[in-house]
């Protein structure tokens, strides 16, 4: 009976371990798929041009929709790569007004009794640009400190602690000195630009500020080169990225739940074995 139980457990556990191995492989590849999507987007492989209009095209290996490659223009001096026809290259400082934040004095408790959202990098959920304020200040705190109040749909880029995090405000917000706010100077899809800046953030030039904390300076941030397609293309790209990222999030959730269930199945099999229920 002991031998029969061991044989059944070993056989079941072998199948479970094989399933776990495949699920963990998928789990590891999900971030790479997201990075590939962003790379394809900003290398121009996610869009196509037809009859002077701009349509969404996805890379077959990543998204699964066929399409033709958009014609490319010669390498641009700012980015040293080809760009799709109809796209422009501008520095971040040309398309955004960049303003810094500040922290009201914590010695004055009256500053922290208002209803104006104030955020740090810890309040930015980097995966989906969501900002969840946990502290609130009043108008006096804004006036007495170096912080700035920015409107809804402003991009916040963390430039020191939490370097590279990117968020989009959903209410009027103040923010700490570890971040910079980007206010559009031209017609832009804010989320498209946030995707691109997040993609660029991995390659930010880290420069010392004379402290123990490294970060990217405001001047360096303003020199970052951005690719600017027509606004219609920006809107379409955001739509397809959001759709594909939502599918990948569902896949990640399925993988996590499956791994938990397989672990529970192992425990259940052991429980059955020592209750005598595994062998009839």
3-state secondary structure 35-91: HHHHHHHHCCCCEEEECCEEEECCCCCCCCCCCCCCCEECCCCCCCCCEECCCEEEE
Residue 80 and residue 125 share a domain: no
Determine the angle formed by the axes of helices 2-42 and 231-273, rounding to 10 degrees: 170
User: Residue 6 and residue 42: Cα distance in Å, rounded?
Assistant: 54
Indicate which CATH number applies to the domain containing 139.
3.90.220.20
Asked whether the beta carbons of 153 and 173 are under 8 A apart, the reply is no
Q: How many domains does the chain divide into?
A: 2
Residues 6 or more apart whose CB falls under 8 angstroms from that of 248 comprise 30, 33, 34
Per-residue pLDDT of the chain (280 residues; tens, 9 = 90+): 889 899 999 999 999 999 999 999 999 999 889 888 888 888 777 765 333 333 333 333 333 333 444 555 555 666 666 777 888 999 999 999 999 999 999 888 899 989 999 999 999 986 789 999 999 999 999 988 878 999 999 999 999 888 889 999 999 999 999 999 999 999 999 999 999 998 887 666 444 444 445 678 889 899 999 999 999 999 999 998 999 999 999 999 999 999 999 999 999 999 988 888 877 5
Residue 92 and residue 82 share a domain: no
Residue 152 and residue 43 share a domain: no
Predicted pLDDT of residue 72: 59
Residue 6 and residue 76 share a domain: yes
Residue 106 and residue 60 share a domain: no
Predicted pLDDT of residue 20: 95
Structural domain boundaries enclosing 215: 88-227
Among 227, 246, 272, give the residue marking a domain's end.
Answer: 227
Predicted pLDDT of residue 63: 37
Residue 132 and residue 172 share a domain: yes
Residue 268 and residue 203 share a domain: no
Residue 18 and residue 8 share a domain: yes
Residue 234 and residue 209 share a domain: no
Residue 188 and residue 75 share a domain: no
Residue 96 and residue 80 share a domain: no
Residue 144 and residue 105 share a domain: yes
Indicate which CATH number applies to the domain containing 59.
1.10.287.1120
Q: pTM score, two decimals?
A: 0.77
């Amino acid at each position: 009976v002991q031998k029969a139980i061991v044989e059944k457990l070993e056989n079941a556990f072998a199948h479970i371990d094989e399933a776990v191995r495949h699920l963990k492989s998928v789990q590891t590849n999900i971030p790479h798929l997201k990075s590939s999507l962003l790379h394809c987007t900003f290398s121009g492989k996610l869009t196509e041009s037809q009859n002077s209009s701009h349509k969404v095209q996805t890379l077959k290996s990543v998204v699964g929709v066929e399409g033709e490659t958009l014609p490319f223009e010669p390498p641009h001096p700012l980015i040293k790569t080809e760009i799709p026809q109809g796209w422009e290259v501008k520095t971040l400082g040309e398309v955004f007004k960049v303003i810094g934040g500040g922290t009201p004095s914590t010695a004055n408790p009256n500053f922290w009794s208002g209803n104006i959202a104030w955020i740090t990098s810890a309040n930015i959920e980097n995966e989906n640009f969501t900002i969840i304020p946990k502290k609130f200040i009043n108008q006096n705190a804004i006036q007495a400190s170096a912080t700035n109040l920015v409107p809804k749909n402003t991009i916040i880029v963390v430039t020191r602690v939490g370097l590279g995090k990117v968020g989009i405000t959903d209410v009027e917000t103040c923010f700490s000195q570890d971040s910079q706010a980007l206010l559009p100077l031209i017609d832009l899809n804010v989320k498209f630009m946030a995707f691109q800046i997040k993609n660029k953030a991995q390659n930010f030039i880290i420069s010392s500020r004379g402290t123990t904390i490294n970060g990217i300076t405001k001047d360096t941030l303003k020199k970052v080169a951005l690719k600017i397609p027509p606004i219609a293309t920006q809107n379409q790209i955001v739509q397809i990225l959001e759709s594909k990222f939502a599918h990948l999030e569902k896949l990640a959730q399925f993988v996590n739940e499956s791994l938990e269930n397989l672990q529970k199945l192992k425990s259940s099999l052991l429980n059955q074995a020592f209750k005598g229920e595994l062998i009839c």
